[in-house]
Amino acid sequence: MIEILLEDQCVECDLCVKVCPTNVFERREGRAPVIARQFDCQTCYMCELYCPAKALYVSPNADEIVGISEQEIRATGLIGSYRNSIGWEKGQKSTANQDLAYKFYLK
């Protein structure tokens, strides 16, 4: 579930608003978006993935709010970590070919 939006890191590009399939974020003119409908989050990680500023953290816990603080998330280095782990950072090689989930659908 979406947990954190760091306003001081946000570049107000509104990509999180645009890519969220469940309309979790609310756009604000001249300011960072807000997490307006947190419980609508499906934990798809699209917002964290597309955020160029690493200003978002989505917890892998999809059923309840974990309640991690901004200080904790900054200290752990988890902010934007999904984007990094799948190889979406500049200069990284994509890790898509390592995803073996497609084998579950083969018969």
46-79 tens-digit pLDDT:
999 999 999 999 999 899 998 899 999 999 989 9
| pTM score | 0.83
Q: How many Cβ atoms from other residues are within 10 Å of residue 40's Cβ?
A: 15
Contact 1, 16 (CB under 8 A): no
Distance (Å, whole) CA 66 – CA 88: 25
In the three-class reduction of DSSP (H, G, I as helix; E, B as strand; rest coil), residue 2 is classed as strand
Q: Does 104 score more than 70 pLDDT?
A: no
pLDDT the model gives residue 42: 95
Instruction: List the Cα angle 10/12/17 in 5-degree steps.
Output: 100
74 alpha-carbon distance from chain centroid: 14
| List of domains in the chain | 2-95 (3.30.70.20)
